[in-house]
């Protein structure tokens, strides 16, 4: 046993005397450093892979959300009404993003398109880096050219930035036919009297088009003085509601032309009421052509919870052919004379003759205008020289009386007022129920 212990002690002494070579320490340290770097690189690769996986998952789960926000309109808030803003937030419409740059650096970019059965809305931006964007007349001459026809520009509105380098426009066009896809925006830059034409072509995505919410043929008639207003149809869509109608067809127009009793509408006010609330007006128009006298009234879209729809005739005004002479009393008479002209009352307040002139002071309801009038002086027709002394008085019932003086050159004993044309408006309270089923 003692011999074994002596042997182990002797071996320990030999091991304690062994020296490690200097180059071995360096080799071991290098190996350890390489192993640490390998572990760091592996950890970095794991982190990068994890991040890639997270982004991929986010994109895959939220692709529709990202696509939705890319469709929204930016910078057009001030040219859109509440309905269009809601459609924008819902991502309704088609991004386009095509531009044309003129030689002077001014550019027009078609940003977005909305389409329904009533209109095509074009959202576009005009830019001028020089800060004179308002001097470039572009919006006034526009149309959309397609394979089967050309669609007219109806109206535009825009908002300019403070630097005057950019204008955001919202333009309305006639809706293209359902089979049209390829569209070309034709426009021109008018600068210092020089017109430069340009075009931007794009393909219409019919999958983004919107239809109608209400479409009814009405064929209702409202009788007014000397005329009948025909309410023909209503077409409501997500961007607006349009009432179409007529006042005379081409045959009625021709008959009145031949008889010398023409009627020229000047004022038609219609109120659209949905669920007891007035629908805001967007615009409208009236035209005389081969179809006769036609009109359209445009309103905001109808509410989604529509339960009742009414159309109220508020006011109608027109310029009428009269072609009648009215004998006037003596110039010294102080008593007022009343003239009944197409059912409208015109009072002769005073007739004065001075320095070879005749002045006739008349009073009537505010809207009444003798749009073409002469004075027959001893059988001689004298034109109106001027209208002076305008005065307005409000009666207790709210009626406003307009008093003015007609001045004619010349004086005589026999006076006749020759009224050839007269314009007046009349208020109504006619309500039409519109079916919504």
Query: Which of 104-113, 196-205, 295-304, 328-337 is predicted least confidently?
Result: 328-337
Burial of 187 (0-12, 13-18, 19+ CB in 10 A): buried
Residue 309 half-sphere exposure, CB side, CA atoms within 13 Å?
21
Per-residue burial over 235-258, b if 16 or more Cβ lie within 10 Å, else e, is bbbbbbbbbbbbbbeeebbeebee
d(C-alpha 424, C-alpha 86), whole Å? 41
pLDDT per position as a tens digit, 192-219: 788 899 999 999 999 999 989 999 999 9
Residue 35: strand, helix, or coil = helix
DSSP state for residue 206 in the 8-state scheme: G
Alpha carbon distance, N-terminus to C-terminus of the chain: 117
Contacts within 8 Å (CB) and 24+ apart, 33-41: none
Q: Supply the pTM of this predicted model.
A: 0.76
User: Pick the residue with more confidence: 337 or 24?
Assistant: 337
* Residue 405 contacts residue 388 (beta carbons within 8 Å): yes
User: Alpha-carbon distance 238 to 116, whole Å?
Assistant: 7
Summarised one tens digit per residue, pLDDT across range 394-432 is 888 888 999 999 999 999 989 999 999 999 999 998 999
- Are residues 148 and 179 in contact, defined by beta-carbon separation less than 8 angstroms? yes
The answer to whether residue 305 scores a pLDDT higher than 80 is: yes
Checking if the pLDDT of 183 tops 80, the result is yes
In this prediction, residue 275 carries a pLDDT of 96
The pLDDT of residue 89 is: 86
Sign of CA dihedral 63, 64, 68, 71: positive
Q: Which residue has the higher pLDDT, 317 or 15?
A: 317
- pLDDT classification of 316: cutoffs 50, 70, 90: very high
CA–CA dist 8, 15 (Å, integer): 11
DSSP-based three-state secondary structure for 303: coil
The distance of Cα 269 from the centroid of its chain, to the nearest Å, equals 19
Q: Across-strand partners of 324?
A: 419
DSSP helix/strand/coil, 20: coil
Compute the C-alpha angle 226/229/230, nearest 5°: 145
Quickly state the pLDDT bin for 361 (edges 50, 70, 90).
very high
Query: How crowded is residue 207: how many other Cβ atoms within 10 Å of its Cβ?
Result: 6
**Banded model confidence at residue 263, pLDDT cuts 50, 70, 90:** confident
pLDDT higher for 353 or 66? Answer: 353
DSSP type of residue 137: B
Whether pLDDT at 37 is above 60: no
Please compute the mean of the pLDDT values over residues 7-29 and round it to a whole number. Answer: 51
- The pLDDT of residue 24: 45
Is the per-residue pLDDT at 49 higher than 50?
Answer: no
Q: Which residue has the higher pLDDT, 293 or 49?
A: 293
Q: DSSP secondary-structure letter at 399? A: -
Q: Residues for the chain: how many in total?
A: 437
Confidence band (pLDDT; 50, 70, 90) for 369? very high
- Report the pLDDT value the prediction gives residue 33, as an integer from 0 to 100: 52
């Amino acid at each position: 046993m003692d011999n074994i212990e002596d042997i182990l002690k002797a071996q320990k002494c030999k091991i304690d005397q062994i020296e490690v070579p200097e180059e071995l320490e360096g080799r071991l340290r290098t190996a350890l450093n390489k192993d640490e770097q390998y572990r760091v690189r592996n950890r970095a690769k794991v982190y990068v892979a994890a991040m890639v996986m997270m982004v991929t998952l986010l994109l895959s789960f939220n692709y529709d959300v990202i696509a939705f926000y890319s469709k929204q309109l930016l910078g057009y808030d001030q040219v859109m009404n509440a309905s269009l803003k809601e459609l924008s937030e819902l991502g309704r419409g088609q991004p386009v993003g095509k531009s044309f740059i003129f030689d002077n650096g001014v550019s027009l970019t078609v940003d977005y398109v909305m389409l329904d059965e009533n209109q095509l809305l074009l959202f576009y931006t005009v830019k001028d880096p020089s800060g004179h964007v308002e001097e470039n007349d572009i919006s006034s001459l526009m149309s959309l050219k397609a394979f089967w026809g050309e669609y007219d520009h109806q109206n535009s509105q825009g908002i300019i930035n403070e630097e005057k380098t950019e204008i955001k426009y919202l333009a309305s066009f006639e809706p293209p036919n359902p089979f049209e896809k390829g569209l070309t925006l034709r426009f021109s830059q008018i600068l210092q009297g020089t017109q430069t034409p340009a075009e931007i072509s794009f393909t219409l995505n019919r999958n983004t088009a919107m239809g109608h919410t209400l479409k009814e043929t009405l064929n209702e008639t409202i009788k007014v003085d000397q005329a009948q207003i025909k309410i023909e149809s209503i077409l409501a869509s997500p961007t607006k509601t349009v009432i179409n109608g007529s006042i005379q067809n081409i045959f009625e127009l021709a008959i009145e032309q031949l008889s010398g009793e023409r009627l020229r509408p000047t004022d038609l006010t219609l109120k659209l009421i949905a669920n007891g609330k007035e629908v805001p007006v967007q615009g409208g128009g009236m035209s005389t052509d081969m179809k006769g006298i036609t009109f359209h009234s445009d309103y905001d879209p109808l509410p989604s919870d529509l339960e009742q729809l009414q159309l109220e005739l508020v006011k109608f005004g027109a310029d009428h052919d009269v072609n009648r002479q009215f004998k006037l009393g003596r110039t010294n008479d102080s008593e007022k004379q009343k003239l009944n002209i197409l059912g409208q009352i015109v009072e002769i307040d005073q007739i004065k003759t001075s320095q070879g002139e005749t002045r006739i002071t008349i009073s009537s309801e505010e809207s009444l205008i003798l749009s073409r009038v002469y004075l027959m002086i001893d059988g001689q027709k004298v034109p109106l020289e001027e209208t002076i002394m305008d005065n307005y008085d409000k009666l207790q019932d709210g009626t406003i009386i307009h008093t003015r003086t007609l001045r004619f050159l010349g004086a005589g004993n026999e006076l006749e007022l020759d009224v050839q044309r007269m314009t007046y408006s009349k208020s109504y309270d006619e309500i039409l129920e519109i079916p919504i089923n």
